[in-house]
Chains A and B, each alone.
Chain A
Amino acid sequence: MSGASRSNVGGWLRGTTIRKGATPSTTRSATPQVQSTSSTVFGGGVKDASGRTSEFFSMDDQCPVCKSDRYLNPKLRLLVSSCYHKMCESCIDRLFTLGPAPCPICNKILRKLAFIPQTFEDLVVEKEVAVRRKIAKEFNKRREDFPDLRSYNDYLEEVEDITFNLINDIDIPQTEARIAAYRKENASLIERNLQREEAYAQALKEHEEAEKRERQLRADELRRAEEEERDAREGERRALIDTLAQSDADAGRLVARSKAEAQKRAAARTSAAAHAVQASSALLLRSRAAQGAAVPDVPHVAIQDDWYAYEDMFTLRPSYFDPASDAVRRDREGIMRAGGYRVEEAWERALRSAVAGLDLPPLVGLAAGQGDGDVVMASV
């Protein structure tokens, strides 16, 4: 997909997509190709869904610093500083190659790598988007993190307040302090919500992949059906010609009959194929997609039951005086070891069995004479 065809997708977004090093496409002769004149790759900016940066681009662009414009320099590319002032790539190279320097417009100290491509025509919007993105990364609490709606609304109000201050440069140090305090207070929660979002994105991606596979499968199925149909039609035609050649019945009637038969078969085929494709794809999609949203995958927990192995009641020594296993341990032929047999496991089992019964209270309610009667198994 070329940059030109994407450029007006958003309506409000009059920009073109720039990919450095991409071959210039022939379809976009109306707009000059925006090329970078700098050797620096400027990151950042607002990315669209496919991960590419849409860059704002206009015929009236002019660098506020050197006053060169698109008429004089068709390769003009304006970038935005961290104080949200525009300047062209050659000015950036000239001013900041030797290290951090003051902005020629507002005197804020800037670095070359902090320049970002411009996406929106209005730099206030550019700034707002950047600020909101940064804030949303940390202020990621959800409704379920609050006891009631009221406190959630208060929180949203506070976030909006901070965002507004940052966008309009009101009480910057104070606002920064507020953010820092929030970050410290909610570090673990932020981390958890981040992970949750990642998991959600993962699920979304999986869902998308499944859908893609499904589409592919359906397309294959369709292609196959079409081929089959073509083959069948060819076969019918040949059969008809054969019959016409061999039989001496009325040619008109033969042709009519074969036509009717072919029609009937074709109808049956299409309905069956459509049905099968629909059924299988719908089933797969429904089952996988519905579940994906409903039940989130949970991180792996190695052992899920709390099982007590009496580990604190004994310590396994490396060796015991155990004449019974003496021969095994000496293992003249080495076959025990090669088979993986471990005498330690037998020792552990013996020890655990020995200590397991220590805590049990003696059975109560069993009279002395009762014990020697019928043995009754405990019920399941």
Chain B
Amino acid sequence: MDAVEKANAARQRRWTKDQKVGEGTYAVVYRGREAATGRRVAIKKLKVGQFKDGLDMSAIREVKYLRELRHPNVIELLDVFSSKTNLNLVLEFLDSELEAIIKDRTLVFLPADIKSWIAMTFRGLEYCHRNFVLHRDLKPNNLLIASDGQLKLADFGLARDFADPGYKMTCQVITRWYRPPELLFGSRYYSTAVDIWSVGCIFAELMLRTPYLPGESDMDQLKTIFRALGTPAEEDWPVRPPRTASDDTLADVHALQGHTKLPDYVPVGQFPKTPLRDLFTAASADTLNLLGKCLVYEPRKRISAKEALNHPYFSALPYPSHPSKLPKCAAQLASAKVLEEVNGNVDPVGQGPGVKAAPPKRAKRKLSDDDISRNIARKLDFS
């Protein structure tokens, strides 16, 4: 066993794997514990074997960026180790996600609750952006809620650092309902503003308790957006800044070209602008102002995470709810109770290395049968 294998084995021994809690397209998530302290963790086992070209891109992205980021509002990557051909990410354990809470109709959201969630989202996002990381997959599903109520950005499988000038980025990112129009128009050069649009959609969803812009296809998504916010005119979303003296060398034909020059631009019809007030009847003026600034068509004019955190919406009364007071969904409360019981009855230290101790049952029996027969054979060997 060489040094690297030894180090990996040592890491693996730090964590025990319990039952499976979920399965995604490229990973299985297990509940687990830190062997030494009994701290709850989630272990994400990435299915590596099925990809011909080595490790899946999103796995690399997730590890790469989570290793760099540490913030109360970003999920923490505790460890990475490999077992056989799989790669295991040890993440902090989080009870539920915002989507489940939004869907739980028995919960009542106070304006202060929404403010608290959005503030935590912006804080986590601001941290990513200031470290030059784009999340590119913000949606309620990926905003996880810890047992103390803290909201954490998770799933960095589509994250990317800012591109160097001239490098193209893919526009096939972000779940459709939360995808900003510049990506729908196929822009390959974009910025942090894409994440802000997603936060705007989440903000609206928290108020409406139903997805704000649920398009059925990419084409329909644009139509849905324009129906809600009005079709942008050329001057709403210009390509060129207003001409200044230093711009004289630039060709005049570009003086006022709009987003219509984006690669995948297609006209989807003219819709009138309706004020946000019509849909969000109960929201305060501050709320609508911030929401409006998150959903500006021109990416450069969209509010940044840092500016958003300094928006008067957050400092106005009511104060954002303390995270521990935020509504929790029933499943979360139930799981908390069950876990409390488990915590009381089971000694987590005595469980041994779960990853190795839980091979499929059939294989185990077969193995032990073999062992027994071999042992008998050895006893009968008189040589």
Q: Which residues of A contact B (CB under 8 A)?
A: 198-199, 202, 206, 210, 213, 280, 283-284, 287-288, 291-292, 295-300, 302-305, 307, 309, 322, 324-325, 327-343, 345-346, 349, 374, 376-377, 380
Contacts and interface: CB of A to CB of B under 8 A. Distances in A.
A335 B72 contact: no
B7 A338 contact: no
B39 interface: no
B306 interface: yes
B194 interface: yes
B3 A297 contact: no
A201 to B, nearest CB: 11
8 contacts: A287-B328, A297-B321, A298-B322, A303-B306, A304-B123, A337-B300, A339-B187, A341-B189
A337 B132 contact: no
A129 B347 CA distance: 63
Given A297-B318, A303-B126, A346-B162, A334 B254 contact: yes
Contact of A297 (B262, B299, B319): B319
Nearest to B79: A380
Contact of A345 (B166, B191, B310): B191
Given A206-B110, A303-B309, A340 B300 contact: yes
Contacts of A346: 162-165
A337 B240 contact: yes
B225 interface: no
B299 A340 contact: yes
B230 interface: no
Interface residues of B, number: 65
Contact of A335 (B4, B237, B239, B241): B239
B130 A307 contact: yes
Contacts of A337: 238-241, 300
Contact of B166 (A198, A291, A302, A327): A327
Nearest to B115: A300
B182 interface: yes
A342 B166 contact: no
List of 6 A-B pairs having minimum Cβ-Cβ separation, nearest first? A340-B299, A334-B239, A339-B187, A325-B165, A341-B189, A300-B314
Interface in B93-136: 106, 108, 110, 112, 115, 119, 123, 126-127, 130, 132
A206 B317 CA distance: 12
Interface string B317-337: 111111011001000010000
B257 interface: yes
Given A280-B106, A297-B112, A335 B166 contact: no
Given A297-B319, A337-B240, 12 more contacts: A198-B317, A199-B319, A295-B325, A300-B320, A307-B127, A335-B261, A338-B185, A338-B299, A339-B189, A340-B190, A341-B189, A345-B162
Given A300-B314, A303-B126, A376-B3, A338 B237 contact: yes
Interface string B162-183: 1111100000000000000010
Contacts of B317: 198, 202
Contacts of B320: 297, 300
A300 B319 contact: yes
A335 B263 contact: yes
A304 B73 CA distance: 11
Contacts of B262: 335, 338-339
A324 B324 contact: no
Contact of B71 (A299, A305, A334, A340): A305
A295 B165 contact: no
A322 B165 CA distance: 10
A39 to B, nearest CB: 35
A340 B165 contact: no
B47 interface: no
Contacts of A345: 132, 162, 191-192
B261 A338 contact: yes
A124 B309 CA distance: 52
A380 B261 contact: no
Nearest to B259: A338
Contacts of A339: 182, 187-191, 262, 299
A341 B188 CA distance: 9
A291 B328 CA distance: 13
Contacts of B188: 335, 339
Contacts of A377: 7
Contacts of B119: 300
A282 B163 CA distance: 53
A355 B315 CA distance: 34
Nearest to B239: A334
Contact of A340 (B78, B302, B309, B325): B302
Nearest to A374: B3
A344 to B, nearest CB: 10
A254 B215 CA distance: 59
Contacts of B298: 338, 340
A291 to B, nearest CB: 4
A334 B194 contact: no
A336 B163 CA distance: 12
B248 to A, nearest CB: 13
Contacts of A376: 3, 7
Given A206-B110, A298-B319, A340-B299, A324 B165 contact: yes
Contacts of B79: 380
A303 B71 CA distance: 11
Nearest to B323: A295
A300 B72 CA distance: 15
B200 to A, nearest CB: 14
A343 B165 CA distance: 6
A309 B127 CA distance: 11
B318 A342 contact: no
B193 interface: yes
A287 B153 CA distance: 26
Interface in B201-256: 237-241, 250, 254
Contact of A334 (B182, B261, B333): B261
